[in-house]
Amino acid sequence: MADLKIFTGNANRPLAEGVCRYLGVTLGTAMVGTFKNGETRVKIEEHVRGADVFVIQPTSNPSDHHIIELLIMIDALKRASAARITAVIPYYAYAKQEKKASGREPISAKLMANLIVTAGANRVMTIDLHAPAIQGFFDIPVDHLTAIPILAGELDETDLNNIVVVSPDSGGVSRADEFRHRIGAGLAIIAKHRPEPDVAEVLEMVGDVEGKVAVIVDDMISTGGTLAEAAEVLLHRGASRVMAYAVHPVLADDAPALIRNSKLERVVVTNTILVPPHCRDPKIEIRDIAWLIGEAIRRTHEGSSISALFQATHLRQELLV
Ligand code: R5P
């Protein structure tokens, strides 16, 4: 079997280190920096000829820079004769630009897919794409993992009852429904619109939240506006408490402050994206999903099925029995 090698750029080194700890391998040595003119400079510093290589790089803010790091690393690995290169992209940027919402707009999510394939990736592994159909933008295999069962499993453990799961927009209904199904709760749906980019306004809500603990489920927190607005509406409609579970902590702009000052009781996210110290807040709890990526890498490397990772309802221990 080919050697398993894992490399990372600068987007989320702690996550890559966590994956390596899980797998019991050493993180591959690579210099990923910048030239004085600002261009990205990469040198793979160990041999990869014939190896099964995984490059872990969420394309988080600054997305363009992290995407270029990923592309150039893949190019370097391809030219160094790696046998297979898997781009492990725990957070896939530009995913909200997956269709033309109006004339003369790009489909940036497709362009990103083209770039990743052109660079030389043979496979892609990602987590909770904003729009699952983005998988079809690639003509190479895509393993689309999900952290929703893990987040739902955690809620189960806190012994809360009387929960209603809330999708904060129509696009997130199937995600919220998956979460709801895991814990056997009801579902409410908020209709949201964006009067301008990055501004969320609640239009209407369907479902009964009166006297219930409202659990908002979303794929990402960007400005935090969607969650803050939803929390106001839910409490206004009679919810007793509001909390949120989201996979990707994009935390753009003043999102941490907005969340801190919001009616949300707690917000649980994963570490697909590195949350820098200035964005940390006691209200924002971060859950480690390095093991999920590690297990998916192990199974991909060994050529075994990863479907168990989608079936796993709760925790790592349960998954591995
Ligand atoms: C919908 O567009 C997404 O699923 C999220 O709800 C959205 O990205 C959150 O953005 P923000 O935090 O800026 O409202």
| CA 192 to ligand 1 center in whole angstroms | 10
Which of left, alpha, beta for 183 (phi over 0: left; psi -120 to 50: alpha)? alpha
In this structure, are 185 and 168 located in the same domain? yes
Of all protein residues, the one whose alpha carbon is nearest to atom 10 of ligand 1 is 222
Buried b (16+ CB within 10 A) or exposed e, 248-259: bbbbbeebbebb
| CA 253 to ligand 1 center in whole angstroms | 13
Pocket probe for ligand 1: among 63, 199, 221, 229, the residue whose CB has the most ligand atoms within 8 Å is: 221
What is d(CA 9, CA 118) in angstroms, rounded to the nearest whole number? 19
CATH number, domain of 95, equals 3.40.50.2020
- The answer to which of 254-263, 279-288, 305-314 has the lowest mean pLDDT is 305-314
| CA 218 to ligand 1 center in whole angstroms | 8
Alpha helices in 131-199 (DSSP H): 148-157, 173-183
Does the pTM surpass 0.85? The reply is: yes
Confidence of residue 128 (pLDDT cuts 50, 70, 90): very high
Confidence of residue 319 (pLDDT cuts 50, 70, 90): very low
The end-to-end CA distance of the chain, in Å, is: 25
Confidence of residue 6 (pLDDT cuts 50, 70, 90): very high
Work out the burial of residue 105: count CB atoms within 10 Å of its CB; fewer than 13 is exposed, 13-18 middle, 19 or more buried. Answer: exposed
For residue 231 the two structure tokens come to 């929390």
Q: Above 90 in pLDDT, residue 142?
A: yes
Annotation marks residue 192 as catalytic: yes
Point out which residues pair with 87 in neighbouring strands. Answer: 55, 124
* Ligand 1 atom at minimum distance from 172 CA: 4
Most confident of the ranges 199-203, 241-245, 316-320:
241-245
- Which residue has 């997956």 as its token pair? 98
Per-residue pLDDT reduced to its tens digit, 218-227: 999 999 999 9
- Which residue has 């801190």 as its token pair? 260
- Structural domains of the chain, count: 2
In this structure, are 159 and 130 located in the same domain? no
Point out which residues pair with 284 in neighbouring strands. Answer: 267
Handedness of CA 172, 173, 179, 183 (dihedral sign): positive
- Domain containing 110 equals 4-147+290-319
In this structure, are 125 and 156 located in the same domain? no
Confidence of residue 132 (pLDDT cuts 50, 70, 90): very high
Residues with CB under 6 A from ligand 1: 96, 130, 168-169, 171-172, 198, 200, 218-226
Per-residue pLDDT reduced to its tens digit, 169-182: 999 999 999 999 98
Which amino acid makes up residue 221?
A: I
DSSP state of 277: G
Instruction: Please report how many Cα atoms fall inside a 13 Å half-sphere around the Cα of residue 52, on the Cβ side.
Output: 12
Q: What is the average per-residue pLDDT within 285-313?
A: 90
In this structure, are 130 and 222 located in the same domain? no
| CA 138 to ligand 1 center in whole angstroms | 24
